[in-house]
């Protein structure tokens, strides 16, 4: 094992406490069932994203593909070294946790929770109520509204209870709006009306009163009709005393659409309601294979400007990338002709967008002072 410079990071305080030279990068396990209260410390490189972000109390997260984590040592090392929060990319979704009605399979998600504990990371639970990746028994079944409501309550209660004490933030409701700001027609809206949203937050809170409960969506990063609609929803929920703690903006950008309109101001208005905010699924896709230089520059700018918007809003507690390696990105499978969306390349080498984030984090904790006068010239 090579000697390398590292810094000890308190899993509790989010503040880098000691710069140290240590002989081993191995993590000190800090098993705890209360993720906010761990007193364990882990050794990570002092120029890693997580170490730099800890100086300003920000968690840098990544979505994790648990199949790759199980088999790829480089992927494991980067996950542990660079990130202080993890989100299961798929393995907490309903389709995965209850493939057959009444039979739960928590195994893959449990392993990720253990990995996070061992590496001083917090877990974003993703996601409890969504229209996608539902089990076939549910989508193909015929249910009355009452039955569907009972099924949803049971799903939320059972899943949140299973992970109780191990989840920092839960994405309770995901993608409930369309881009024009109207509510997305889904199995839930169609059967239950919009009240399913408040119910979901109440049920999740009952099952784990300490978890931070988030509404999560895409195309709500900047000011616009969809963000206005979500703002209206969460303001109403707060006014009704519904236990919602935060809003997640996914941050799936594409170089062809430009940067979201007034992102910092948008995040701040949610914060002004007393909510936390988070960037939850950041990636920046572009055309492949013939990516141009301007497109690459736009990717670097988009990554770092999203981070800047978060850094400038005190209530923004985490910035999570939706995976970190182009070889494992969801983008090519979903957006024809697009890719190269992540901060590491196909060979898990850091790209310019990684260094853009690193530099932004360095600036966030203070640029070096200079006196500005040159010898012989005034």
Closest contact distance (angstroms) between CB of 344 and ligand XIL is 16
Q: How many residues bind ligand XIL (CB under 6 A)?
A: 6
Residue among 68 and 118 whose Cβ is closer to ligand XIL: 68
> Does 330 interact with ligand XIL (rule: CB under 6 A)?
yes
Point out the catalytic residue in the list 98, 117, 281, 338.
281
Residue among 166 and 174 whose Cβ is closer to ligand XIL: 174
Closest contact distance (angstroms) between CB of 231 and ligand XIL is 19
Instruction: Count CB atoms within 10 A of the CB of residue 199.
Output: 18
Residue among 136 and 265 whose Cβ is closer to ligand XIL: 136
- Angstrom CA distances, 252 to 273, 274, 314, stand at 24, 25, 22
> Does 174 interact with ligand XIL (rule: CB under 6 A)?
yes
What is the per-residue DSSP string for 186-231? -HHHHHH-THHHHHHHHHHHHH-TTSEEEEEESS-SSSSHHHHHHH
Residue among 25 and 88 whose Cβ is closer to ligand XIL: 88
Closest contact distance (angstroms) between CB of 301 and ligand XIL is 22
Closest contact distance (angstroms) between CB of 329 and ligand XIL is 8
Out of 81, 89, 98, 326, the residue judged to bind ligand XIL by CB under 6 A:
89
Q: Are 239 and 257 in contact (CB under 8 A)?
A: no
Dmax over CA atoms of the chain, in Å, equals: 84
Q: Are 243 and 198 in contact (CB under 8 A)?
A: no
Q: Looking at residue 291, what DSSP letter applies?
A: -
x/- letters, 45..84, toward ligand XIL (CB under 6 A): ----------------------------------------
Q: 125-136 b/e with 16+ CB inside 10 Å = b? A: bbbbbbbeebbe
> Does 344 interact with ligand XIL (rule: CB under 6 A)?
no
Out of 281, 302, 326, 338, the residue judged to bind ligand XIL by CB under 6 A:
281
Using CA atoms, how far apart are residues 301 and 253, in angstroms rounded to an integer?
11
The reply to whether 281 belongs to the active site is yes
Residue among 121 and 250 whose Cβ is closer to ligand XIL: 250
345: tokens are 């390349």
> Does 283 interact with ligand XIL (rule: CB under 6 A)?
no
Point out the catalytic residue in the list 89, 98, 117, 175.
175
169: tokens are 């933030």
Instruction: Count CB atoms within 10 A of the CB of residue 26.
Output: 11
The reply to whether 308 belongs to the active site is no
Closest contact distance (angstroms) between CB of 307 and ligand XIL is 19
Residue among 63 and 357 whose Cβ is closer to ligand XIL: 63
Strands 59-64, 41-44: pairing is unpaired
Closest contact distance (angstroms) between CB of 49 and ligand XIL is 20
Q: At what angle do helices 263-271 and 293-311 cross, to 10 degrees?
A: 20
- What part of residues 348-367 is at the interface with ligand XIL (CB under 6 A)? none
Residue among 75 and 330 whose Cβ is closer to ligand XIL: 330
> Does 90 interact with ligand XIL (rule: CB under 6 A)?
yes
Residue with tokens 């935060």: 246
Long-range contacts of 357-363 (CB under 8 A, 24+ apart): 357/49, 357/60, 357/303, 357/304, 357/307, 358/47, 358/49, 358/52, 359/304, 360/304, 360/307, 360/308, 360/311, 361/49, 361/52, 361/53, 361/55, 361/56, 361/60, 361/307, 362/52
Closest contact distance (angstroms) between CB of 330 and ligand XIL is 3
Q: Which residues bind ligand XIL (CB under 6 A)?
A: 89-90, 174, 250, 281, 330
Active site residues: 175, 281
């Amino acid at each position: 094992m090579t000697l390398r410079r590292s810094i000890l990071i308190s899993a509790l305080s989010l503040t880098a406490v000691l710069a140290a030279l240590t002989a081993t990068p191995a993590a000190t396990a800090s098993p705890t069932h209360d993720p906010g209260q761990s007193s364990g410390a882990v050794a990570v490189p002092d120029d890693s994203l997580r170490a730099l972000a800890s100086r300003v109390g920000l968690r840098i997260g990544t979505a994790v593909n648990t199949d790759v984590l199980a088999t790829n040592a480089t992927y494991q090392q980067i996950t542990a070294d660079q990130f202080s929060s993890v989100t299961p990319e798929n393995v907490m979704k309903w389709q995965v946790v209850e493939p057959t009605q009444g039979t739960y399979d928590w195994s893959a998600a449990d392993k990720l929770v253990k990995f996070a504990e061992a590496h001083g990371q917090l877990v974003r639970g993703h996601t409890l109520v969504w229209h996608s990746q539902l089990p076939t028994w549910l989508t193909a079944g015929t249910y009355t509204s009452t039955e569907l409501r009972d099924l949803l309550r049971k799903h939320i209660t059972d899943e949140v209870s299973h992970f109780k004490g191990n989840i920092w933030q839960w994405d309770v409701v995901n993608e409930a709006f369309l881009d024009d700001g109207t509510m997305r027609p889904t199995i839930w809206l169609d059967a239950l009306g919009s009240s399913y949203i408040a119910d979901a937050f109440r049920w999740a809170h009952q099952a784990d009163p300490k978890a931070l409960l988030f509404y999560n969506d895409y195309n709500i990063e900047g000011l616009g009709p969809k963000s206005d609609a979500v703002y209206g929803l969460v303001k109403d929920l707060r006014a009704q005393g519904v236990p919602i703690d935060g809003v997640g903006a996914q941050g799936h950008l594409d170089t062809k659409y430009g940067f979201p309109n007034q992102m910092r101001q948008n995040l701040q208005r949610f914060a002004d309601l007393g909510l936390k905010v988070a960037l939850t699924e950041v990636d920046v896709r572009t055309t492949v294979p013939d990516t141009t230089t301007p497109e690459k520059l736009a990717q670097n700018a988009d990554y770092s400007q999203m981070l800047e918007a978060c850094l400038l809003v005190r209530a923004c507690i985490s910035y999570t990338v939706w995976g970190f390696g182009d070889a494992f990105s969801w983008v090519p499978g979903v957006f024809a002709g697009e890719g190269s969306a992540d901060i590491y390349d196909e060979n898990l080498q850091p790209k310019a967008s990684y260094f853009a984030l690193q530099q932004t984090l360095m600036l966030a904790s203070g640029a070096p002072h200079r006196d500005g006068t040159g010898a012989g010239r005034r």
